[in-house]
């Protein structure tokens, strides 16, 4: 396979970066370089922002109905090119083809929601709030907005951002992870085919320099970010300090409580998919199973242990593959080190996924098997930190109250779940748990596009969740207009706060 090149997309064209510098793109399944991606500098970013600012002057005046029609066409093109996009994702990220299609569909759902822009942007109106006085609220775009997205969902997470931003009348500059950049360029091409004017959507590839440039650029009015909590906090504090609206989603450590009355076979099946699907590289992966009672813990561990050998680990394009490679060699080493530290800290390693040699032709791939720990406790790194790999930790607690307390004490609060057949327990869990997204017998409770996605605590910085009506509110600013068209003579001057 020949080495390909991924360039920036600015003002409707693919262009080389000014610096001429490139980063390597690996195929994680074979562990070899398959492409190179341009690295932007401040000049590249400024060019993208400049054309986006110019495009905003006209795009913001396009009616919501016409903007939504572009999204309708984009949706059709996404469906037409889904196989192509899934293959690109699998090649550069390492996830299996069917999982790649799944993320495209979840992103496409946000596109479908954004098609409702004429309704979503209707605003509000109150007649006769005072004598001959009406009041209306309208939502207007910010201008140029930016998105910074991680490696693990190269299609879905960008589509949680830019469809909402564009139908609201903003123009967009996207920076994706350099590990799997080609999906963003394909999305740019499809948007152009859908009729989006040049300059409205731009892609600038690169690393920290681009992020810093976005945080300080005076013409970028809002930034949407997904990544680690360490970086999320920096993005939020720096961006807001520079007068920008910022939503910054960070890390997670998602727990699932398993009650004694749960169907434990169903639980084991759900844990397999939730913990090991996408090789655990999901911010909504279940990485901690909280078993209520030793009997529950013993049974769940035995059932998961029985299922792990049947997990088909292979390159993402292999038929029937259920788990692919990790996205990079450095991350493979990091996950391996977490497993070693878990053993050193006293957790029981029931199933060890190290090392895993790829099948024939994939010996150099970044593969690791599924690992299972028992007797994991707070204070251990494998419990406190986000591993972002196929590692499931089991914590044992005596009762429901202890399980809730354990989860509520964790610094991350993205998603959580409970497995139970008791409605009262489920209701108590929903009320008492201090986590942003909750599942009842649903292991990965990612909301549909017409609801909003976002955690609590250190899993999010900022006041806005993503997509749904929260997305509309984030990518617009409220303007309230009070109107009077007097039908008689103008009243005498008033020198007190108006009350009528």
395 is catalytic: no
| Cα–Cα distance, 339 to 352 (Å, whole number) | 8
Set 115, 135, 168, 283: catalytic member: 283
DSSP state of 409: T
365, two tokens:
């791939």
Give the closest residue to 376 by CA, choosing from 290, 456, 436.
Answer: 290
With contact defined as beta carbons under 8 Å apart, do 65 and 72 qualify? no
Q: Report the distance separating Cα 444 and Cα 451, nearest Å.
A: 15
Contacts 24+ apart (CB under 8 A), 186-190: 186/81, 186/84, 186/85, 186/88, 187/85, 187/155, 187/158, 187/159, 188/9, 189/9, 190/74, 190/77, 190/78, 190/81
Q: For residues 220 and 61, what is the distance between their CA atoms, to the nearest angstrom?
A: 19
Query: Contact at 8 Å (CB) between 247 and 282?
Result: no
160's tokens: 């949680």
Residue showing tokens 């607690």 = 397
> Nearest Cα to 451, choosing from 439, 465, 463?
465
290 neighbors 375 (Cβ within 8 angstroms): no
Separation of alpha carbons 339 and 146, rounded Å: 36
Question: How far are the Cα atoms of 87, 250, 254, 306, 371 from residue 16, in angstroms, in the given order?
Answer: 24, 31, 41, 51, 43
Q: Any residues with CB less than 8 A from the CB of 70 and at least 6 apart, and which?
A: 166, 191, 194, 195, 196
Residue 308 CA to residue 297 CA, distance in Å, equals 16
CB-based contact 287:391 (threshold 8 Å) = yes
Per the DSSP assignment, residues forming a β-bridge with 372 are 351, 392
Q: What is the Cα–Cα distance from 365 to 306, expressed in whole angstroms?
A: 26
Residues designated as active site: 283
């Amino acid at each position: 396979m020949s080495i390909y090149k991924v360039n920036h997309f600015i003002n409707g064209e693919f262009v080389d970066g000014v610096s001429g510098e490139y980063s390597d793109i690996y195929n994680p399944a074979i562990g070899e370089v398959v492409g190179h991606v341009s690295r932007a500098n401040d000049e590249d970013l400024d060019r993208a922002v400049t054309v986006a600012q110019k495009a905003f002057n006209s795009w913001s005046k396009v009616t919501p109905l016409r903007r939504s029609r572009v999204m309708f066409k984009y949706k059709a093109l996404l469906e037409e090119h889904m196989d192509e996009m899934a293959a690109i994702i699998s090649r550069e990220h390492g996830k299996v083809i069917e999982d790649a299609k799944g993320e495209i569909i979840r992103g496409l759902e946000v596109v479908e929601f954004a098609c409702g822009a004429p309704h979503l942007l209707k605003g509000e109106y109150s007649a006769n709030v005072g004598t001959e006085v009406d009041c209306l609220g309208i939502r207007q775009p910010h201008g140029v907005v930016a998105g910074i997205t991680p490696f693990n969902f190269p299609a879905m997470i960008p589509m949680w951002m830019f469809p909402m931003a564009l139908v609201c009348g903003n123009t967009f500059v996207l920076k994706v992870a350099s590990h799997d950049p080609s999906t963003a360029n394909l999305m740019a091409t499809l948007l152009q085919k859908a009729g989006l004017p040049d300059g409205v959507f731009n892609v600038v590839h690169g690393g920290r320099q681009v992020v810093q440039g976005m945080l300080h650029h005076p013409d970028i009015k809002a930034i949407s970010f997904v990544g680690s909590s360490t970086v999320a906090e920096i993005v939020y504090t720096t961006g807001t300090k520079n007068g920008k609206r910022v939503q910054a989603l960070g890390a997670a450590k998602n727990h699932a409580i398993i009650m004694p009355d749960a169907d434990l076979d169903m639980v084991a099946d759900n844990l397999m998919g939730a913990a090991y699907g996408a090789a655990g590289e999901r911010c909504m992966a279940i990485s901690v199973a909280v078993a209520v009672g030793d009997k529950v813990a013993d049974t769940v561990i035995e059932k998961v242990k029985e299922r792990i050998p049947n997990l088909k680990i292979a390159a993402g394009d292999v038929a029937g593959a259920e788990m692919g490679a990790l996205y990079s060699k450095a991350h493979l080493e990091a996950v391996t080190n977490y497993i070693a530290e878990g053993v050193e800290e006293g957790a029981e390693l029931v199933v060890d996924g190290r090392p895993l040699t790829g099948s024939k032709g994939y010996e150099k791939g970044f593969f690791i098997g599924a690992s299972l720990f028992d007797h994991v406790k707070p204070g251990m790194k494998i419990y406190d930190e986000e591993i972002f790999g196929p590692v499931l930790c089991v914590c044992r607690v005596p009762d429901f109250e202890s399980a809730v307390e354990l989860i509520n004490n964790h610094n991350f609060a993205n998603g959580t779940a409970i497995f139970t057949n008791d409605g009262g327990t489920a209701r108590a869990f929903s009320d008492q748990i201090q986590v942003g997204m909750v599942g009842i017998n649903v292991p990965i409770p990612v909301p549909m596009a017409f609801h909003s996605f976002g955690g609590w605590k250190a899993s999010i910085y900022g006041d806005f969740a993503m997509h749904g009506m929260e997305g509309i509110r984030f990518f617009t600013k409220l303007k309230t207009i009070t109107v009077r068209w007097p039908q008689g003579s103008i009243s005498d001057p008033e020198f007190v706060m108006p009350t009528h």
